[in-house]
Structure 1
Amino acid sequence: MMNTILIAITISACLISVVLLGMRLRLLLPDNQMTPDTKETVKLAMGLVATMTALLLGLLVSSAKSAYDTTRDEVIAMAAKVSYLDGLLTAYGAEASNARALLRAGIETAVRGMWPERRAEGVRLAPDAQTGHALYAAIQELTPQDELQRGLKAQAAGLAVELRQLRYLLLVQSVSSISRPLLWVVVSWLLMIFLSFSVLAPSNATARAALIAAALSVSGAIFLILEFDRPFSGVMQIPSDPIKNAVGQVLK
């Protein structure tokens, strides 16, 4: 699995190296290459590239954050549906105890797959078809004795289907929402921008510190993009508390 921290550190190191290289290159350039007109031309060209880079970075962050928020909302919705389904089965009566046990087993399997205890196991979003079918069958096998139980059974069957749909939706949406070629194009533009800015910048500690701070900032933005693209792993993974709390309520 891709290590986003290592990638961010590598990009930071590359950008900082480019800054130092540019400042060194400035000392080697002849005076006729550093005329005011030349500097102005380079500033205009790099200003255009910097604007495009800023727009693309903003779009990438927005896209990744939107996908992350959608997945988080689906996890919260799943937790709410689990709690509601368990409440319906509890209200139905003792006959639904088998369905409740299957519900708990299915959700526990889902939690272990989405938030594995050991990182080497990897995230597994594919739903357990056998447990899902067994839960739905257990609900369908209930024999209502009155209108209340008939209504509870119908609602429980509908919720079981919705839970399966949410699991498959999470699986389908697990595909990366970020265009990796586009991301590396942005990184290449950043290298070009920082090289040109460092060539034009004065050779003093203040300018060097400002450029290095900017390099760290854009590396942080790329780190966020990569982290938002991994909602179930990494530093900013979606918390499992809502689902685990729901599991704790089942058969409590």
Structure 2
Amino acid sequence: MNHLIVALIIFVCVFCSALLGLYLRTLLPEHHLDDDSIDVVKLATGLIATMAALVLGLLISSAKSSFDTVNASVTRDAVNVILLDRVLAQYGPQTQEIRGTLKQIVTVAVQQVASGDPAQQARLRRPEALERAEDFERKIEDLAPQNDKQRRLQARAIELTNEALAVRELGLLQAAGSTPTALLITLVLWLCIIFGAFGVFTPANATVTIALFLGALCTSIAIFLILEMNTPLDGMVTVSMSPMHEALAVIGH
């Protein structure tokens, strides 16, 4: 489901819980709203709020870590591609075709990632994409070095190819991650209880309603950002592909 729709649903649930609390206040007998009752509910609400804050912080930390990992993998891939192209260029004119294949593979991959289309991005995780990368590595292994320098360059090219594949797979695995549904539902349930309690023990007026509205809006925005950062290759919050575009401008020359 679209992350914006999920955030909107969460906002509606949380804010409606607050409005329900304001309504229930008008129905409850007075002895349910005395100081002792309010103190007990405040303690229970404080406990739930603490747990909700911990879970929200955990989700934010996890999403930020996932986003940073994919962002770093893009930069590392760009560096490896440039280094690999230069090593192949130093090997000699025998690698001209391989360098052309490298640029073609990188161009297609960047286009698929930057498209924002999940169907296009899914192709990066298909066996065919890995087979193309393995075929490219075999072409480097099939080179016939004529001297020690070319043997060293061939070994370095194979090493860079393996590193690029490892980083790419790590980035794709992180990009395919998602927020645990059970944890998200639990968090939203806790938020609804908290905002409902706010409404029950607060006299209804415009200021209170606006405050509850803004609180529900902020929490839904926070969850929206968590969902977006957990899918860093598509959506409104994505990693920058500038390093790969710069690498494409350099390689093959």
Structure 1 counterpart of 2:33: 34
1:96 and 2:106 are equivalent in the alignment: no
Task: Encode CA deviations 1:49-69: one digit per residue, 9 max, x unaligned.
Answer: 111111110011101111111
- Give the aligned residue type for 1:131: R
Q: TM-score, normalising length from structure 2?
A: 0.92
Structure 2 counterpart of 1:207: 208
1:161 and 2:150 are equivalent in the alignment: no
Q: Using the TM superposition, give the Cα deviation of residue 134 of structure 1 relative to its aligned residue in structure 2, in angstroms.
A: 2.7
5 Å-filtered alignment, 1:165-244, equals 165-176=166-177, 178-244=179-245
Give the SS at the match of 1:125. helix
For structure 2, list consecutive stretches of 5 or more residues without a partner in the other structure: none
1:79 and 2:78 are equivalent in the alignment: yes
Q: Distance in 1 between matches of 2:190 and 2:13?
A: 12
Q: Using the TM superposition, give the Cα deviation of residue 21 of structure 1 relative to its aligned residue in structure 2, in angstroms.
A: 1.9
Q: TM-score, normalising length from structure 1?
A: 0.92
1:249 and 2:246 are equivalent in the alignment: no
- The range that moved more, 181-190 or 210-219, is 210-219
Q: Distance in 1 between matches of 2:17 and 2:251?
A: 57
The number of residue pairs the alignment matches comes to: 251
Q: Distance in 2 between matches of 1:41 and 1:99?
A: 72
Q: Distance in 1 between matches of 2:36 and 2:193?
A: 20
Give the SS at the match of 1:5. helix
- The range that moved more, 233-242 or 164-173, is 164-173
Task: Encode CA deviations 1:103-129: one digit per residue, 9 max, x unaligned.
Answer: 112212322332336456454332623
For structure 1, list consecutive stretches of 5 or more residues without a partner in the other structure: none
CA RMSD of superposed structures (Å): 1.8
Structure 2 counterpart of 1:148: 149
Q: Distance in 2 between matches of 1:111 and 1:42?
A: 54
Q: 1:236 to 1:123 in 2, by over 3 A?
A: farther
Structure 1 counterpart of 2:11: 12
Q: Distance in 2 between matches of 1:214 and 1:129?
A: 46
Q: Percent identity?
A: 38
Q: Distance in 2 between matches of 1:244 and 1:223?
A: 28
Q: Distance in 1 between matches of 2:177 and 2:110?
A: 21
Task: Encode CA deviations 1:182-232: one digit per residue, 9 max, x unaligned.
Answer: 111010110011001111112222222212111111111111110111110
- Give the aligned residue type for 1:251: G
Task: Encode CA deviations 1:130-159: one digit per residue, 9 max, x unaligned.
Answer: 422332122223233333222212111111
2:145 and 2:154 in contact (8 A); partners too:
yes
